[in-house]
Structure 1
Amino acid sequence: MMKALICGVGGQDGSYLARLLLAKGYEVWGTSRDAQIASFANLAQLGVRDAVQVRSMAPNDFRSVLTVLRASEPDEIYFLAGQSSVGLSFEQPVETLESITLGALNLMEAIRLLGRPIRLYHAGSSECFGDVGEVAADETTPFAPRSPYAVAKASAHWLVANYREAYGLFVCNGILFNHESPLRPTRFVTRKIISTACRIAAGSGERLELGRLDIVRDWGWAPEYVEAMWRMLQGEQARDYVIATGQAQSLQDFVAAVFAEFDLDWRAHVCSNPAYFRPTDLAWSQGNPARAEQLLGWRAGFRMRDVVREMVVAEREQMQGKG
């Protein structure tokens, strides 16, 4: 039986990945900074909480990392932990860099010292590309990070490339573009839009305040993207891959699609508030997933409107359950 260790198993991607690997017959271990008090609500929502063995691990503490690797003896590690909010990274830059960059470094050092053929997936980010104009970025596009989060992810990306070249480790970067699901916390803009629209449709009378509406993103479906993570670790050669739909729409398009699900005109309920503008933001973010399709046989099936539809259905069900 293959064994996998998912660092950050309680998050959106970690939970979907745990479900996927369990379905494939894996023994799944997962980590959180404090597993004794973590709720692992996402795992519970997906019906797999009891099937995952959880341990506490601080990615920026090498002893903590080594202890968990010795206990779990994984064949594959998926490093999905670390501070995950671009906006919050401006307020917590040190925590962001430590949890992401030092976390990746500690895992690879532990793999190297243990001397076992452990394969590692590192969750990179499309934020590393910065503003590239109206161009679909691929694996050869230069990085120009514009937030502490993006700087941390770019640093970890190059550490992965270095350890792969210097020590022959099987380590991969997944450069994922925006991918959403009902498991997104409400602090993420997609979930904020959908939960607020649900309340407005139910008669709350509130207005939805957002930052820039003209930003363009490549919106994907998280349960599909974790399949790409797994495929990266099954190949004969470790590579880096862009994972995206290849299509891009503005945040305004996303908002309009959400309110259309409720037969509402978004313009009557939404406004742009400069208070939500970030110090720096990406105007256009779109990926070219050609390498993933060619070498992994992976292709996104869901597009932005499919993502919106699925998230709205889930939000309605949740609201009805609370009611």
Structure 2
Amino acid sequence: MSVTHDPDRRRDIAHVGPIELRTAVLEESRDFFVDVMGLREVHRDASSIYLHTWDDYQSWTIRLVRNADAGIGRTYLRAASPQALDRLRIAVKAGKSTSDVPGLGEVHLFEDPDGHEMGLYWDVDWYESDRSDEPALKNQAAKYPGRGANLRRLDHVNYLTANVRETSTFLSETLGARCTEQIVKDDGQPQAIWYSLGNKTYDLVYTEDWTGRSGRLHHVAFATDTREEILRAADVCLDAGVHIETGPHKHAIQQTFFLYVWEPGGNRIEICNAGARLILAPDWRTISWTREERAKGQAWGLKTIDTFHTHGTPVVPVEEDSE
């Protein structure tokens, strides 16, 4: 499947974030993100905890939501302007709106073709540091935490989808995103797609769900400043007893330096350094990878671990998956 992008098309989405992540072990997940990943708790209510990465200009980055099953909740997308919000709201055929999300103004709710919940917004509360995390440089949101993995910001979300082609059409034609890379199956159909909302190499990723189900999550990724911090994060996770699934290593696709771990709720978390590559070409041509090329493994030869293709959240029981 060839993917084209009109360089004259207006970009109405500024960026992805914040997000909601579901977990059955709310406090354990909170301790993972705060104590091991270096985030800061900024708010909580009866069923959720709000956390902030140190250089996110917004008031919170991730909301942990108590839920029987793990997985992704809403993904919030900030419009590029109030006018862009109006255009997007019409384009996605947004349903009801809500003003009940802390730190955000009116949020227009919709679902992607696979049923993942999303919300569009413009108004946002900026993060206000206090005396304990006030930065020395006023052009960053908070001071460098100097603990755990020191996650700087949310980088991307990788969803699982039952229909990659339909989702790809929605991303390009409705949201105005552009496909930077993709994996193509032998029949020419896409198996995984990487879409960019701005100049980052990718923000929204969709991978074919091997179970055929809809609405599940592959992983959420957070960025550090350097590769060295990812190496240190591996040691931090080792000492903390966190399950390290694979890495540190370098992806061939997008050249991301990565470490994959599972947080206590079962959601896969990627710690990455993806900001080194930018898509500056307005007429970027989508890079396609074949199954044969992917079979060679990651950039430096590491073979992809089996669980990378079998684990997603909510978890599908083996007996259901084999039917």
TM-score between both structures, scaled by the size of structure 2? 0.29
Q: Which has the higher helix share?
A: 1
Q: Which has the higher strand share?
A: 2
